[in-house]
Structure 1
Amino acid sequence: MKTAIAIRHLHFEDLGSLEPLLLARGYTVRYVDAALQDLGRIDGADLLVLLGGPIGAFDDLSYPFILQELELVQRQLASGRALLGICLGAQLIARALGARVAPMGVKEIGFAPLTLTAEGAASPLSELEGQPVLHWHGDRFDIPSGATVLAGTAVCAHQAFALGRQVLALQCHLEVDPLRLEQWLVGHVCELAQAGIDPRSLRAEARELQTSLPLAASRAFGRWLDGIEE
């Protein structure tokens, strides 16, 4: 049986709409809490997913477990097995590959579509053409050497990159189930207040996207999984 291990930083920032897709495709899904469990003992997952969180990929002096995450990414890269990073997870993959990760100076929080590159339009992300997805970050990554940039936005030019078929890094939260966004609005209440964002607007947008976003995300993730499973 195929195994998928998801490294989690906050309980509600989970696999979202990706989890039922993985289960339907025969994966056993296991969560590991980065701040509580020994990441050095993790090895051999067919798919490793690094999820989001409110800390920075460069905050290892304050949060030493980040160094364990970087080592875990290096082991997965060396194994040739599949690796997916979302938001903080994508930034950790970029850092592990030698690329710079730094604050943008602004927050990008809200639903907006991606602008795909030519390579992105030929990738599984083509399923997201015109589809608003959730952005929730204040840091950005440079594109690692040898990787292909797939998408951007006006606020953040680097929203996604791929390294071969096996590695996909997404700055945006494609995994988010709009019906569960209320957990985010509560869990990140201080960040929303500091950014001057009204949770009612995000709630209304999520309601409008409750059908289209999970369907588009499932198609995009499904095509990527097809590629790594070949």
Structure 2
Amino acid sequence: MKSALIIRHVPYEGVAGYRQPIEEAGYLIDRIDVSDPAFSSLELREPDLLIMMGGPMGVYEQDQYPWIACQLRRLRHRLEAGRPTLGVCFGAQMMAAALGAEVYAGPHKEVGFHPIRLNAAGISSPLRHLEDVPVLHWHGDTFTMPDNVEPLGSSHLYEYQAFRRGPNILALQFHAEMGEDERFDAWIEEWPESVIEAGGDEASLRAAHDLHGPTAVAAGRKMIAEWVSQFAFNPSADSQWLARCE
């Protein structure tokens, strides 16, 4: 079977609704937390698919989280090799940084359900399944656009909400995987101040989750199913980096 590895930066941010289409595409999913002692020596180019989830930390907080710099170095090698990689929220910010972009604290907290404003590239990508679908946003950081990537969409608060490089590399600032996962309660308990800073309240956010969550996850699963079906592999490049690892 093909291998997929999930990197969790905090225990309450998992792959959630994306698990189903990844498994249905024939991937055997494994998971590692950045707190695991084995993480520091993990070869990130090895899995057939790498999935990096979210977290409350910022890419620029490397003094507080020393593993960020180590992960960025190894992630850069994977992206240079064009290996299939998905980043969600903090994971997307890590991908942007590894590709040379600046990641920084934005002027607004973006917390709540609203659609992605897809551009022409987004409409012609797997993100087309999200058109007009309110999905969960929960972040305060943003990034400049890396070189040689395609921006796919924006929101009413942030210009960049997704990008891709070729068919294999996809970065999503939003959370179309969340809407049916009980860990949503942990998010509210962990970051109630973010909801308030974004101008919302807990009751309204829970109501929006109940209203939009199932539709968002269904659309997110279609997006991921299409994305994983169109990977382009380069046997020559793969064999070269595998030889170096050995």
Fold match (TM-score > 0.5): yes
Seen in structure 2, the aligned counterparts of structure 1 residues 90 and 109 have a Cα distance that, compared at 3 Å, is: same
- Whether the aligned pair in 2 keeps the contact of 1:101 and 1:141 (CA below 8 Å) is yes
Aligned residue for 1:29, secondary structure, equals strand
Q: CA RMSD in A?
A: 1.6
1:40-189 superposed matches below 5 A: 40-43=41-44, 44-180=46-182, 181-189=184-192
Say if 2:224 is the partner of 1:221. Answer: yes
Give the whole-Å Cα distance in 2 for the aligned partners of 1:113 and 1:70. 30
Aligned residue for 2:29, secondary structure, equals strand
The percent of aligned pairs where both chains have the same amino acid is 35
State the AA in 2 paired with 1:2: K
CA deviations over 1:32-64 (Å, ceiling 9, x no partner): 111333233234101111110001011111111
CA deviations over 1:98-144 (Å, ceiling 9, x no partner): 11111112100000001001111100001101000111011101111
Task: Tell me how many residue pairs correspond in the alignment.
Answer: 230
Structure with higher Rg: it is 2
State the AA in 1 paired with 2:162: A
Partner of 2:239: none
Q: TM-score, normalised by structure 2?
A: 0.88
Give the whole-Å Cα distance in 2 for the aligned partners of 1:49 and 1:20. 14
- Whether the aligned pair in 2 keeps the contact of 1:179 and 1:210 (CA below 8 Å) is no
Aligned residue for 1:55, secondary structure, equals coil
Aligned residue for 1:3, secondary structure, equals strand
Give the whole-Å Cα distance in 1 for the aligned partners of 2:82 and 2:156. 33
Say if 2:35 is the partner of 1:32. Answer: no
Give the whole-Å Cα distance in 1 for the aligned partners of 2:187 and 2:180. 10
- Whether the aligned pair in 1 keeps the contact of 2:9 and 2:33 (CA below 8 Å) is yes
Unaligned runs of 5+ in 2: 234-246
Give the whole-Å Cα distance in 1 for the aligned partners of 2:151 and 2:200. 29
Aligned residue for 2:231, secondary structure, equals helix
* Offset at residue 4 of structure 1 (A): 0.8
- Whether the aligned pair in 1 keeps the contact of 2:148 and 2:165 (CA below 8 Å) is yes
State the AA in 1 paired with 2:12: F
Q: TM-score, normalised by structure 1?
A: 0.94
Unaligned runs of 5+ in 1: none
Partner of 1:14: 14
Give the whole-Å Cα distance in 2 for the aligned partners of 1:152 and 1:96. 21
* Offset at residue 78 of structure 1 (A): 3.0
Give the whole-Å Cα distance in 2 for the aligned partners of 1:18 and 1:148. 22
Seen in structure 2, the aligned counterparts of structure 1 residues 190 and 12 have a Cα distance that, compared at 3 Å, is: same
* Offset at residue 179 of structure 1 (A): 4.4
Give the whole-Å Cα distance in 1 for the aligned partners of 2:158 and 2:116. 10
Aligned residue for 1:12, secondary structure, equals coil
CA deviations over 1:62-121 (Å, ceiling 9, x no partner): 111001210221121133210111111111111111111111121000000010011111
- Whether the aligned pair in 2 keeps the contact of 1:52 and 1:87 (CA below 8 Å) is yes
Give the whole-Å Cα distance in 1 for the aligned partners of 2:160 and 2:7. 22
- Whether the aligned pair in 2 keeps the contact of 1:178 and 1:209 (CA below 8 Å) is no
Give the whole-Å Cα distance in 2 for the aligned partners of 1:174 and 1:52. 12
State the AA in 2 paired with 1:218: R
State the AA in 2 paired with 1:83: T
